[in-house]
Amino acid sequence: MNRKSGTHPADAFCRDLINRYPKSLEFADTLYRDRNKNKDKYKEVYPDWCALPSSFVTYFLTGSTDEQTMIRILRQEPKHIQTDLPTALLWTRSKMIYRFDDTLADTLAVQPLEGKIPADALNYLPYPCVYIERKMILGEFETIGFFAWLDWMDGEQEKLLRLQFRQANGDSLPLFVPITGGTIDESVSAYVNSAHARSETTGKPKYKERDLLNSQFPKILTECINLLLYLCSEKPDMPDDTELRTRRSRDSYGNPKRAAEWDVGTRIGSALRKAKVVTAEIKEPEDKPLDSSEGTEAKSAHSSPRPHLRRAHWHSFWVGKRDSSERKLVLRWLSPIPVNVDDAELPAVVSPVKGQDIADRNT
């Protein structure tokens, strides 16, 4: 549901930043327009899935490409400006806020990143930068939500998932996960076991691998990535935004004037809650004495497992000819599956129609 209310904290954060650097909107708009006219030229600079590399914004902020000059100038700027301003410029292009149903979000939060999900799955975010409203505890910080977008570091030829957490006091906490190719779980594992988790004095890992993977930090990353993957999936339970794209009031740069707040997982969240109640209430039938006519074969038969919900998981596959521009990844979220529960006891989960493709999302 789209809700009209006061200024959302995500919108206020981005407005304050852009008001501090008013020419940044013109800079970003010029870049978008030039890229649309010269797509082949820009393909050689950075990939299609990256709407605005942070390095371009750094050039804008400093007016230089010299590394030492950039470092000197950026030291005089507010903290985290290198990630805050790109986040604000990207999110302002769509101003989309997603509010997940608590049951669905909690289900996704504890779901492991299994199933060999290709790293390219994150390329299918509905917009170049999204904001997910959700309270989380990240170390000593209490966050109220986070921005997410894909960045490209041209010098290292590296894809980064940028996560910009917002705190209730207005501060931001940026994190990034290098997407190293292969699968998403491999990227997360490589990240938490990288130099970020090593001692500055000895250079050796601070924690044992098993302890690190079970710590809070990778769990938070897993939760955020699962929420993002749900938005990237083929049939997410959320409103179709086709009408919204055409009727929103926009400024002279084509940016929406107001933020749009969308509820995600309303139907499937309700279905999950009912499914949990049903499986909790159903009792195993009491063992009945076997009739002598059933024989020894019947006596040795195994009883069926008690009713329960099988854990949710991801399923992905490619469609289209290999090496074709039309080839794309399809990601599906398979919700918890009732086992040994009468189908009549459970509500049907209705999936909305398929969303826009990646070419439309970066406009």
Max mean pLDDT among 137-141, 150-154, 201-205, 355-359 falls in: 150-154
Residue 244: the pLDDT is: 83
Measured distance CA(115)–CA(161) in Å, rounded: 20
The percentage of residues in the chain with a pLDDT greater than 70, rounded to a whole number, is: 76
In DSSP terms, which residues pair with 161 in a beta bridge?
150, 177
Instruction: Find out whether 89 and 18 touch, Cβ atoms under 8 Å.
Output: yes
pLDDT above 60 for 313 = yes
Query: Residue 103 — very low, low, confident or very high, per pLDDT cuts 50/70/90?
Result: very high
pLDDT at residue 238 greater than cutoff 80: yes
pLDDT of residue 150: 96
Please compute Rg for the chain using Cα positions.
24
Percentage with pLDDT > 90 across the chain: 35
pTM: 0.80
Residues 6+ apart with CB under 8 A from 228: 122, 125, 130, 132, 148
**What integer pLDDT is reported at residue 2 of this predicted model?**
46
For 242-291, what is each residue's pLDDT tens digit? 888 888 999 999 999 999 999 999 998 988 888 777 766 655 444 444 34
**What pLDDT score was predicted for residue 296?**
45
Q: Looking at residues 85-108, what average pLDDT do you find?
A: 95
pLDDT > 90? residue 165: yes
pLDDT tens for 12-29 read: 999 999 999 989 999 999
Confidence of residue 73 (pLDDT cuts 50, 70, 90): confident
Instruction: Break the chain into its structural domains and give their ranges.
Output: 94-268
Torsion, Cα of 33, 172, 105, 1 (10° steps): -50
C-alpha–C-alpha distance, residues 51 and 49, integer Å: 6
* DSSP E strand stretches across 169-278: 172-179, 260-264
For residue 178, pLDDT beyond 70:
yes
Residue of 242, 236, 227 whose CA lies nearest to 266: 236
241 HSE (CA, 13 A, CB side): 24
Contact (Cβ atoms closer than 8 angstroms) between residue 357 and residue 330: no
